[in-house]
Amino acid sequence: MRFLSCLLLLALSPAAWAGGDDRPAGSAPDSKLPNILLAIADDASWPHMSAYGCRFLKTPNFDRVAREGVLFNNCFTPLPKCSPSRAALLTGRNPWQLEEACCHFGLFSAKFPVYPDLLEAAGYYVGFTGKGWAPGNWQKGGFKRNPAGTEFNKLKAKPPTTGISPIDYAGNFDAFLKDRPRGKPFCFWYGGHEPHRPYELGSGVRAGKRLADVGVQPYLPNTDEVRSDILDYALEIEWFDTHLGRMLKKLDEIGELDNTIVVVTSDNGMPFPRVKGHIFEDACHLPLAIRWGKSVKGGRVVDDFVSFIDLAPTFAEAAGLQPPAGTTGRSILDLLKSGASGQVDPKRDHVLLGRERTDVGRPNDAGYPVRANRTRDYLYARNFDPDRWPAGNPETGFRDIDDSPTKALVLKLKEQGQEKYFDLCMGKRPAEELYDLRKDPACVDNLAFNTDRVAVKARLWAQLEKELREQQDPRILGKGDIFDRYQYLGERSHSWDAVMGGKKPSEK
């Protein structure tokens, strides 16, 4: 039925007909179907865009999208690591519903429909530049191309630092528009490689950024070395924003900006200890701004909770289609078109988060299974195997944290007997965690065992368990071991077997 619906839409839509159109390639189509431009940074946390008041960077183009559209205060990825997060965005399903694709460097099966394919079948021209769905293997999963679309990465440019990708993202967007058949709406994925590590050491300070502008979260050492590392990260976010600006300018020039849904976000939090890959606030809470010309009233700030799984059904509804089969997320088109600010839909008051194998570095390369419930006031997390090291075993170098000057400093302080930051970033965690986000947004004071929070904890767990059962999450159904049996398809040099060489696990 879905295939027949797409054929019917093609028959009725002017976007399906290119014959007899003598306009230049890249000009506005006759169809009123909206174009879609998704700009997704690689490892940028909320609130690290200047529209949110961040002082150590400037993102005028993200700010423009927010000012002329809607700025979201509560956008979350359900799993804060690149490939599972992107798989959730593409399918509208939570990662624990995606089998191998729940694990970083896993297999992405084509049996899970993705919105670019759905839109292409309905007459859209689909492509991506930079980083699409990655890292992992989509070929073995049965996809004929990257799930984000047809690749446009040929054009290169000299980057301003050694840590920044040479891909000319905006130039490749221009090439995509030139290649677009006349009369077709487009769906384009701009996947910046920034601010993914590595960075050019000291590049932020050399660019004129000030150490004094950086506030350091309490789980990291409050030193100039850490502040400088954060400024290097900030410089790369600005590079991502620069290419976004060039894309907006191009859409302005060809008269298509107001008929384009522009969505700007990130895939997971910043690549620092206790953030990327870990179920805490700064890892899962992401920036989000959406602009759609006159179709969406601008200048608004919305507080409703939005998950990545809501974007695929949003794009489908905007194109007049049913969402991908099996979608768990809900379209946010009603929020965009409501004209309201603040809390628009009272039912959007929480999101579910989770984690399985986000990197290797434990015996048998097992993951660190977590499920969590993030509400307006609390973050409740259930760690299903608290005997495991959450950041990877010490013997393998804590591979679930990207190497960085900040990580090295945390480990150096540990060697010197200062264990506070090591315990927060690398130490083992109890079976339950509960954080009062009103008083402790950095999630450093675990209240899970306070007697006055028993009722809160029970309520959050009951809600979490109920919804996970409805979603047939193997972890909650007692079948979670399957996630550790899924094949790891990435580099093995930091795996347990490679590092240990057959040695027995340490007892420390």
Residue 502, pLDDT score: 52
* Residues 362, 373 contacting (CB under 8 angstroms): no
Same structural domain for residues 482 and 365?
yes
Q: How confident is the model at residue 35 (pLDDT cuts 50, 70, 90)?
A: very high
Helix (H, G, I), strand (E, B) or coil at 384: coil
Is 5 contained in some domain? no
Backbone φ/ψ region at 324: left (φ over 0), alpha (ψ -120 to 50), beta = beta
Looking at the chain, how many residues does it have?
A: 508
Cα 312 to Cα 252, 269, 294, 318, 391, distances in angstroms:
25, 21, 22, 10, 31
Q: What is the pLDDT of residue 498?
A: 75
Q: Does residue 492 carry a pLDDT above 90? A: no
Q: How confident is the model at residue 508 (pLDDT cuts 50, 70, 90)?
A: very low
User: Are 321 and 450 found together in one domain?
Assistant: no
Query: Does residue 390 lie within any of the structural domains?
Result: yes
Count Cβ atoms within 10 A of the Cβ of residue 240 and give its class: 0-12 exposed, 13-18 middle, 19 or more buried.
buried
User: Considering the domain boundaries, does residue 27 fall inside one?
Assistant: no
Q: How far apart are CA 465 and CA 449, in angstroms?
A: 19
Whole-angstrom distance, CA of residue 497 vs CA of residue 278 = 23
Residue 494 · residue 396 · CB < 8 Å:
yes
CA 167/CA 157 separation, integer angstroms: 6
Select from 292, 317, 348 the last residue of a domain.
348
Which among 348, 369, 395 is the end of a domain?
348
Q: For residue 38, which amino acid is it? A: L
Q: How far is CA 298 from the centre of its chain?
A: 24
Residue 184 lies in a domain: yes
407 and 334, same structural domain?
Answer: no
In a shared domain, residues 320 and 377? no
Q: How far apart are CA 56 and CA 270, in angstroms?
A: 14
Structure tokens at 184: 């077709």
Percent of the chain exceeding pLDDT 70 equals: 91
Q: Tell me the pLDDT tens digit for each residue of 261-282.
A: 999 999 999 999 999 999 999 9
Tell me the CATH number at 77. Answer: 3.40.720.10
pLDDT at residue 303 is higher than 60: yes
Would you state the torsion angle of the CA atoms of residues 196, 202, 204, 208, taken in this order, to the nearest 10 degrees? Answer: -170
Examine the domain organization and report whether 385 and 446 are in the same domain: yes
Whether residues 388 and 471 share a domain: the answer is: yes
- Same-domain status, 366 and 341: no
pTM: 0.92
Tell me the DSSP string of 389-431.
-TT--GGGT-TTS---HHHHHHHHHHHTT--HHHHHHTS---S
Percentage of residues in the chain with pLDDT exceeding 90? 88
**Cα 271 from Cα 134, distance rounded (Å):** 16
Are both 247 and 271 inside the same structural domain? yes
Q: Which residues of 323-350 are buried (b: 16+ CB within 10 A; e: fewer)?
A: bbeebbbbbbbebbebeeeeebeeebeb
120 and 40 in one domain? yes
Give DSSP secondary structure letters for 27-73. Answer: SPPS--PPEEEEEEESS--TT-SGGGT-SS---HHHHHHHHHSEEEE
Q: Please indicate, yes or no, whether residues 228 and 330 belong to a single structural domain of this protein.
A: yes
Give me the chain's average pLDDT, please.
Answer: 92
Question: Measured in whole angstroms, how far is the alpha carbon of residue 448 from the centre of its chain?
Answer: 27
Q: For residue 302, what are the β-bridge partners?
A: 72, 342
Our count of domains for the chain comes to 2
CATH number of the domain bearing residue 449 = 3.30.1120.10
Residue ending a domain, among 348, 373, 404, is: 348
63 with 152, same domain: the answer is yes
Q: pLDDT at position 239, please?
A: 98
- Residue 363 token pair: 């015996």
Domain that holds residue 450: 352-500
Q: Are residues 294 and 170 in the same domain?
A: yes
Q: What is the pLDDT of residue 28?
A: 39
Is 261 within 8 Å of 333 (Cβ atoms)?
Answer: no
* 184 and 29 Cβ atoms separated by less than 8 Å: yes
Both tokens assigned to 283: 């890892």
Rounded CA-CA distance 447/444 in Å is: 10
- CA atoms of 54 and 416, how far apart (whole Å): 33
Question: How high is the pLDDT of residue 324?
Answer: 81
Over residues 220-257, the pLDDT tens digits come to 999 999 999 999 999 999 999 999 999 999 999 999 99
Helix 311-318 crosses helix 82-91 at what angle (to 10 degrees)?
A: 30
Q: Is residue 279 part of a domain?
A: yes
Residue 230, in any domain of the structure = yes
In a domain, 8, yes or no: no
Q: Is residue 439 part of a domain?
A: yes
